[in-house]
Amino acid sequence: MATIWIVLNFVLIILAFYLILHLYQNIRLLQKTSTEEIAKEIDAVFHVYIEDTRTENEKLIVALKQMLQENQTAAKRKPQRKKTKTLDNTAEKKATELQPGFKQMLDREIGQADTEQTSARENAPIAANDWFPPIDQINDTVEESPTLKAIKLQKQGLTPAEIAKKLGCGEGEVLLLLKMQEKGN
């Protein structure tokens, strides 16, 4: 009878090892697929980010072109002045690092745009709908910190309990404020 139990026990142990091995393989397979899925999700997110960046760049290019066209039309209306500002070496290097079209636009417009914008700002009338805050109605108030109040009251000779009553806080808080101030000095 004992041999039957030993054989049955041995068979159950072998079955348990087989099931453990089978579960281990399934877990590894799931981990591998989840890692691949995460990699695919990350890749998809990067692609979406790149596309968003690309569309934002295209919008920026369109806005820059419109701004340059507006500057060119404004320059045609006013008499042209000599270029007073020249690019230094670092600015030229930065311009050459930009896309080819931007370098040409920068070379053309840098002198004209600066002088025209400053003259336009100086000569521009203030519109009636420009709003300014009512400065005369602003009243500044200075408020002391609780630490400063506690120190002043302590210098007057009040105990921490009396200071806490006047400040409306706990005595432990007042003691903490005073100790922190002592360590700071």
d(CA 115, CA 75): 10
Greatest Cα-to-Cα distance within the chain, rounded to the nearest angstrom: 117
Tens-digit pLDDT profile for residues 115-126: 555 555 555 555
Average pLDDT over the chain, rounded to an integer: 78
The percentage of residues in the chain with a pLDDT greater than 70, rounded to a whole number, is 71
d(CA 178, CA 161): 12
CB 116 within 8 A of CB 71: yes
The percentage of residues in the chain with a pLDDT greater than 90, rounded to a whole number, is 29
pLDDT at 84: 47
Q: Where are the domains of the chain?
A: 1-59, 146-184
d(CA 41, CA 35): 10
pLDDT at 95: 47
> Over the chain, what HEC string results?
CHHHHHHHHHHHHHHHHHHHHHHHHHHHHHHHHHHHHHHHHHHHHHHHHHHHHHHHHHHHHHHHHHHHHHHHHHHHHCCCCCCCCCCCHHHHHHHHHCCHHHHHHHHHHHHHHHHHHHHHHHHCCCCCCCCCCCHHHCCCCCCCCHHHHHHHHHHCCCCHHHHHHHHCCCHHHHHHHHHHHHHHC
Residue 2: pLDDT band (50, 70, 90) is confident
Tens-digit pLDDT profile for residues 125-139: 555 567 777 777 788
Tens-digit pLDDT profile for residues 41-98: 888 888 888 988 999 999 999 999 999 888 888 877 765 555 544 445 555 555 455 5
